[in-house]
A and B are shown apart, each in its own frame.
Chain A
Amino acid sequence: MNRLRLRTMVTLTGLLAFFVSMPSLPAQPTRTDAEKDSVLKAMLTELDRSMSQLQLTGFAKPFFVQYRIEDVNDFQTSAEFGSSEGSEHAHQRVVRVTVRVGDYKTDSSGARGDGSLQVTALDDDPIALRSSLWTATDQAYKIALSAYAQKQAELKQVQTPPQADDFSHEKPIVSLADPIALHVDEGSWADRVARASGLYRTGASFSPDQRDIEYSSASFRARTTTTWLVTSEGAIVRKSSVDYQESFAAGTQAPDGMRLDRSYGSSGTSLADLDSEAVFNQHAVDELASLTDLRKSPLVEEEYHGPLLFSADAAADTLRSLLASSVTATRPALGTEARTNGPFASSYRARVMPDFMNVVDDPSLSTFNGKGLLGAYAVDDEGVPAQAVKLVDAGRLDSYLIGRQPVRDFPQSNGHGRAGITGPAHPAIGVLKITADNGLSTGELNQKLLDVAKDRGLSSVYFVQTMGPDRTPRLLYRVSPDGKRELVRGAVLADIDERALRSSIEAAGKDLWVANSFVDPPLTILAPALLFDDATVRRANAKNDKLPFYPPPDLGAFARPSSAQTRDSQPRCISLCELSRTPVTGFRIHLYRHLSRPVAEFNQPTLHPGLTHKVQSERRRLSPMAYELPPLPYDYSALEPFIDIETMKLHHDKHHQTYITNVNNALANHPTLAAKSVDDLIGDLNAVSEDIRGVVRNNGGGHSNHSMFWTIMGPANSTGIGGSPSGDIAKQITADFGDFEAFKKTFNETTAKQFGSGWGWLVFTGGKLKVITTGNQDSPLSQGVYPILGNDVWEHAYYLKYQNRRPDYLAAWWNVVNWAEVNKRFAKAKG
């Protein structure tokens, strides 16, 4: 067990009931000990400097600063169809700085996080480390000042005061665990996973059609994470962990096109926790064989209501999805009286499970039945020692997992503030252990299932052995009254919800399954088998993809019903297909995106070619079109002679459509964003994930800008079109520019100067009209300003008729401005 080899740790949390002024024991590490570590020394030096000197005149000093540096050493190797796809060894360090201004009761923290990130030196070079900390601190302080001002304003808008302080007081600890080094034989693991991924080719027991799989991949991953954390309260923590995982995944397709997937993983906190190659490969062979069974198996019946037995493995996945986020306490929306969020928000001291069930989260449980648990840790990512928390006692919800963000009745952290790599800490499970009093053996559970069936006169009942994502069973058996099991496919489970958890669990097993998840942060679920007395199993009726259009390459000679098919979107989406216990091959990309964020601005070329390829090979899945081209509210020729028909056709049908197509494509995998109006979308570009922000900015902006543009023009020589403005806008123009001619001159001159492509805008800000320009398709909405009118000075708007005589186009354009519409927009801009 080399996880968290804690040399020493001082925690006074448990002793608070006595006295705060406990004298230090001689063996306890001190700041002096910590400063022997050059990373900690650099952090402490810079922290002291920030606390003593960092202040903008007229603004508050920080009351709390936390520095966290993570050293992530990550090796991954993967193989497909028996051949290595290569290995990647990434070693990076990232700084995360949190700065809070205000005080513990009300501070600058908010939903958008309160920190900043920087990539930092791998060398233990004090100046380089401190420089990264310095930059991140400067950013974080400025962000905190602005967030604090915003929070003060928001507080004034609600009657109900916050239900708890913003930040908890915790006793600082000094805890120094030894860093763990990564030692793996990279070459031999690459060979080993190549062999595993090729078992379908070499497995002696396979008939040719068993070899007919769609994908067969294997991977190995080893990662050490060393974290240094210091706070201005005096906490000093160094901790280190290592995680290993080997995994296998294969898939095929049933004759009706249904996709069939199986996977297996072996993980732990030491290499000894992993299966031997022989054992692992046997599992992989079993998975391949089960694909053949699945292919032959019948479809599940259309709908079933009745008892359902989950193996401990399947129960672990199910309980994770029901409990993991429900048992954490997070700050409720400002102005409400809620305690926390989620399904258990109001369940404190209420029954949430049967009275024979208990749930505890105990991160100190580092092994179970001799197996290392990935979710174990000693000190959380806010420097608070982990505590075992009894969440559900005899069916009743007794507590929540909480970090340093208090909620009503929970003023202190219980050491569950956990962070993904580079992420902010938030409450999360570590080792979630679910147990039943008087648990039954597997035989007893099976018998009980049959007994229920008999009592209710059911001709068959169901047993779930393993689960896939989205409550879809991977291996589901129909069980006859005589106990005979038949594998069925194509099912989805329903009604397994909070209500079922509370009142439908009939019995539970006594043996616990260990479900280690190599996610970020890693977690473990220990769960028993569960018998639900009333659940729904129904046919999924998912869209079945086409069978392959032609047979696989090396098996052309074997005539049989073909069953292999590519996935429709991503051939080897292991990370997407598996909920747990499987490799997350997408992780490196994810990590890299995170890591590259602080310097991404000028760091594009350093993207590894490999990572680039991986990102690109994730094919887009097209969803229903989010935005549609609005029809032109007048004829294409209506703006002649000022804007010609050809330009209008091209501009509306082609250019505008292209923006819409592009933004829709970018949003295809972002349903939440796609649900917004385009103006809302570009009004909050920060809400758009970084990978698509540029595309959304340019193309969402293009859609928004052009949608506005068509409406503020109208047929030349019609009433209210062209000429002088009328109504409120006319008065405001006179007030702010003198007269309409002066305004036009300002607008035309300013806009003519926009270099290259862009827009000229009239906006209302600070009680006055102003003329601004933006480049490309940037919208004033992204600056929080509502555009009253705008003119497009991309060449596509005028080049056919005016070539490079932009000023001529600008002058002519006023003849087609629809002042009635502009007045409507002005009213909106004034709010």
Chain B
Amino acid sequence: MLSQKLRALTPIHSKGQSWRRIVSPLRSAVPAVVLPLLLLSAAAQTQQPVPVVLEAMTGELHRAFTSLGKSPSAVSPASSPAPPAIPVADATSAASADEPLPPYFLSYTVRDTNYVSIRALYGALAESSAGRTRSADIQVRVGDPKLDNTHGTHRGSAVNSLQLPLGDDRAALARSLWLATNTGYGNALDNYLRVQTEAEVRAKEEDTSPDFSQQAAQNHIGAVAPSIVIDHAAWEQRVRELSRIFRDYPDVYENMVFLTVQNETDYFASSEGSQIVASHLQARIVAVAVTRAVDGMDLFREQTFEAETIDGLPTQAVLASAVRDLGKSLEALRKAPVTEPFDGPAILSGRAAAVFFHEVLGHRLEGQRQRGDEEGQTFTKDVGKPILPDFLSVADDPTVDNFGSTWLSGSYQYDDEGQKAERVDLIQGGVLKTFLMSRLPIASFGASNGHGRAESGHVPTGRQGNLIVTSTKSIPDSELRQQLIDEAKKQGKPYGLYFEDISSGFAVTQRSSPQAFQVIPLVVWRVYVDGRSDELVRGVSIVGTPLAAMKSIIATGDKSEVFNGECGAESGTIPVSAVAPAMLLSTIETQRQPQGTARPPILLIPGDDSQAPATKGAQ
């Protein structure tokens, strides 16, 4: 395989070498004609025509890679029959003496996105728009994989972004890419200089891993995402009607229903010879509702539905019923008693457990968190050790599209560093095996496992895709409930708790800036040991160390639930899924959440009968 030949990326630059000897594997292994060949071979493999965008990317990338940091006489523009002497800036300013610094790695990621967005509030349409954008992320790395311009806090210097023209105009595309590449290269040189200076004055780092892992080139020319087919007027009406349902729940004082459809094609080309075209489709409908209890406690809930395409979304009747449930739930919550401090057994529903694992465990297993990043090394030295009960295993598998009949929004074929998605068994039988790896190596793991993900404009980091928790100690839900009661009795508690719904930093409903790893119980029930019916409580806040809670899991249910959502972190907001069965914990500690002091609205929400004087009135 040609790609195999291109694979090895040896350190190509060190300070002592003269520039003449600094040749990239790409250029030394393959002459300039490699690019057309590559295109052909990649296309032949998959029977898809090579899109013009990818051709333009590959052409410009090759020209940049063979020109940057070379002395003028070595520059050979792709479109030029005879290489002329072109006075351009030299790249020596950032390095010592007159040593040119070619990039050792260059990649272009282009995201071409069609979108539709429809939003309604208070039963009326508030927004309806559609459009298309194309943006490019240019990644330039200078130095060598051991130490490059992205080291330490300079990680952001890898990526430069700009908007690209939409059409198949190669000249306009190439010139935009040239512009961004120049900026990115200048930026990389500047940061590399600073990295070198810092390296000289700093004590030895704890983790001396390289800055970039060596990976095989990937070639896959998949189909381009189709344009969005949608009956705008019909969907506007559907969204409007869903929002209007909240008029039957006058205590819900803010509501919103929105539909987003996004068909995205991602193009990737790199100096290692990768060429990828892959698409990601997603349709999503979200209902959000907010109320406030008389004592000032804010209460909110949301319901989301995801499918690959809009046709896969539930019927209007199903959606309407879910919206009604949301309204009912908030009205019930508003009247529910406030929780008391509690320390005892609890069940997390499958959905709640999925959120809990994503936030509390998943984020801590991201590779870069083991390397001096701000969230810090919780499990760095725990590989091979048990960190969960032995009946639990956790994998992240972006390669599966569905769990049962539910579509998983965290699926992808290639990650945002052009690496093939892999199923990663993070925890097996409770024992930590590995981390979610991007191309940023860490002391214990030197290679990507296809989890380098990012939103446009961000440097990819290790992120979750579809986090799947499995159990070998599963029992039917009814038994799980009985065990909860038994456990509560054993501990001398009058009740155990049932967490039906939990929100988190990656739910759409975060009320302030995204807060890492936070979980907010939304719907919690007391399950009494004496046979009384379950009682809804509000204001529950989980306290204590989350990892201790996870270690106290006794058993799980036998049915898994899916949570589809969006996860925001350093590398931006990306779609993810989490799948888990319900879980029984022997101990979870809760207290009353700090509560807002703002009063509920003074007047009643306007409605058909709102001319009547306010009954809640002044307090």
Contact = CB atoms under 8 A, between A and B. Distances in A.
A53 B89 contact: no
Contacts of A66: none
Nearest to A695: B513
B201 interface: no
- Scoring B79, B165, B185, B300 by chain A CB atoms within 10 A of each residue's CB, the highest score goes to B165
Given A89-B129, A606-B258, A650 B60 contact: no
Interface stretch (A265-273, A380-388, A419-427, A610-618): A610-618
Contact of B603 (A50, A562, A603, A659): A50
Contact of A549 (B68, B153, B161): B68
Interface in A525-549: 545-549
Contacts of B601: 134-135, 138
B69 A549 contact: yes
A119 B542 contact: no
Contacts of A571: 162, 179-180, 183
B185 A756 contact: no
Contact of B182 (A548, A554, A754, A756): A548
Contacts of B69: 549
Interface in B60-106: 60, 63-64, 67-69, 75, 77-82, 84-89, 91, 93
Contacts, number: 362
Nearest to B156: A665
Nearest to A133: B606
A650 B515 contact: no
B89 to A, nearest CB: 4
B409 to A, nearest CB: 11
A754 B171 contact: no
B36 interface: no
Contact of A613 (B59, B166, B256, B457): B457
A660 B264 CA distance: 36
Contact of B302 (A552, A602, A799): A602
B230 interface: no
B590 to A, nearest CB: 9
A84 B167 contact: yes
B163 A85 contact: yes
B55 to A, nearest CB: 13
Contacts of B181: 550
A561 B84 CA distance: 12
B518 to A, nearest CB: 6
A550 B124 contact: no
B31 interface: no
Interface stretch (A108-116, A123-131, A462-470): A123-131
A796 B375 contact: yes
Contacts of A123: 124-125, 240
Contacts of B67: 549-551
Contacts of A806: 544-545
Nearest to A599: B256
Interface string B237-252: 0001000000100000
Nearest to A561: B87
- Scoring A551, A572, A610, A650 by chain B CB atoms within 10 A of each residue's CB, the highest score goes to A551
Contacts of B375: 796
B79 A654 contact: no
Contacts of B278: none
A473 interface: no
Interface in A60-87: 79-87
Given A89-B129, A608-B115, A659 B176 contact: no
A121 interface: yes
B333 to A, nearest CB: 16
A757 interface: yes
Interface stretch (A90-98, A222-230, A289-297, A487-495): A90-98
Nearest to A799: B378
B80 A608 contact: no
Contact of A804 (B127, B513, B545): B545
A57 B165 CA distance: 59
B548 interface: yes
- Scoring A53, A84, A91, A550 by chain B CB atoms within 10 A of each residue's CB, the highest score goes to A550
B603 A795 contact: no
B24 to A, nearest CB: 15
Contacts of A347: none
Nearest to B618: A57
A552 B175 CA distance: 6
A119 B121 contact: yes
B510 A602 contact: yes
B81 A557 contact: yes
Interface in A495-523: none
A243 to B, nearest CB: 20
Interface in B112-129: 113, 115, 117, 119-129
B46 interface: no
Chain B interface size band reads: 35 or more
B121 A125 contact: no
Given A215-B179, A566-B180, A755 B171 contact: no
A55 interface: yes
A663 to B, nearest CB: 12
Contact of B85 (A93, A125, A559): A559
B573 interface: yes
A546 B131 contact: no
A755 B541 contact: yes
A370 interface: no
A799 to B, nearest CB: 6
Given A53-B613, A566-B183, A658-B373, A81 B165 contact: yes
Contact of A556 (B80, B117, B284, B302): B80
A121 B68 contact: no
A608 B114 CA distance: 10
- Scoring A93, A142, A602, A694 by chain B CB atoms within 10 A of each residue's CB, the highest score goes to A602
Given A82-B172, A609-B262, A548 B89 contact: yes
Nearest to B185: A549
A122 B127 contact: yes
Given A122-B126, A557-B81, A697-B513, A53 B603 contact: yes
Interface in B499-538: 508-519
A694 B514 contact: yes
A557 B128 CA distance: 48
A550 B113 CA distance: 30
Contacts of A599: 121, 254, 256
Contact of A608 (B131, B171, B372, B517): B131
Contacts of B169: 81-83
A178 interface: no
B124 A619 contact: no
Nearest to B514: A694
B377 A800 contact: yes
A122 B239 CA distance: 13
Interface in B586-619: 589, 591, 598-599, 601-603, 605-608, 610-611, 613-614, 618-619
B254 A795 contact: no
B256 to A, nearest CB: 6
A28 to B, nearest CB: 29
Contacts of A650: 206, 372, 376-377
Given A604-B510, A806-B544, 9 more contacts: A123-B124, A546-B89, A550-B67, A556-B84, A568-B186, A571-B162, A609-B113, A609-B456, A649-B206
20 contacts: A53-B613, A55-B618, A84-B167, A85-B133, A130-B606, A135-B601, A214-B179, A549-B182, A551-B67, A551-B75, A552-B178, A553-B178, A566-B186, A602-B510, A608-B129, A608-B131, A614-B163, A617-B135, A753-B543, A796-B377
Interface of B: 59-60, 63-64, 67-69, 75, 77-82, 84-89, 91, 93, 111, 113, 115, 117, 119-129, 131-135, 153, 156, 160-167, 169, 171-183, 185-186, 206, 240, 247, 253-254, 256, 258, 260, 262, 264, 284, 286, 288, 290, 300, 302, 360, 372-378, 455-458, 508-519, 541-548, 551, 566, 568, 573, 589, 591, 598-599, 601-603, 605-608, 610-611, 613-614, 618-619
Cβ-closest 6 pairs across A and B: A694-B513, A556-B77, A616-B457, A121-B124, A83-B165, A128-B124
